[in-house]
Amino acid sequence: MRTFFISILSFFILSIQGHAQLFDSIRTSFDYKPKFLVKFDTRNSFISNQYAKIHGIKVGLSFNKTTNIGVGYHWMPKRLIEPTLPNSNNVDLKFGYAVVFFEYNFYKSKYWSAEIPVQIGLGKAQYDDVDLDITKDSSWIVIYEPAMTIEYKFLRYFGIGGGVGYRLAIKSNRKIKESFTAPEYILRVKIYFGDIYKEQILKE
């Protein structure tokens, strides 16, 4: 499954990069006045082959609805790790990471858009002893997440979307046993604050 997702993403990324207009389109987009954007997304993924839901919020700037850049934060609700040894304490797994992101919108119409988002992040995973209320082990994690998403705009200032991606993770501490590298299924809600400001506030 992992090979399948990497192949699909590579196909789309390489296909888009093959067009000579790509870099011109990105460069030209920065000539436009940016609009503020906020995105909320949920990444349905896996950690050590077990289902995991990763929540996220991102803020940034959109240039001509073609190039988006910004920062964000993703986190996983606490996960209880069952003890493997007799008389062992229960342990919670915590996982979260901050990112910088870049998104290129390669298709857009009045209601639909499709884009290639890429984000790079740094985060931390740790085991917390539930009974003793202490952190047993922790690890810094470097994250790289390419994806492809499709978005539908509705009610003028809102958008919903979905897509597929892949999370590559490098740990600094092998005592954190979980594997964080996995495919992802993305669900997203977007608010067009730039349009709200331009069409509602400036008109007053």
Cα–Cα dist 18/115, whole Å: 15
Question: Rounded to whole angstroms, what are the CA distances from 11 to 1, 6, 143?
Answer: 15, 8, 21
Burial 2-30 (b: 16+ CB within 10 A, else e): eeebeeebeebbeebeeeeeeeebbeebe
Token pair belonging to 27: 């460069």
The structural domain count of the chain equals 1
The DSSP bridge partners found for residue 160 are 152, 189
Res 3: pLDDT: 52
Note down pLDDT in tens along the chain; length 204 residues: 455 444 544 544 554 545 556 778 888 888 998 988 888 889 999 998 889 999 999 999 999 889 999 999 999 988 877 666 556 778 899 999 999 999 999 888 888 999 999 999 999 999 998 888 888 899 999 999 999 999 998 887 889 999 999 999 999 998 888 999 999 999 988 888 777 777 766 665
Integer Cα distance of 62 and 55 in angstroms: 22
Range of the domain at 61: 2-201
Provide the CATH number for the domain around residue 39. 2.40.160.20
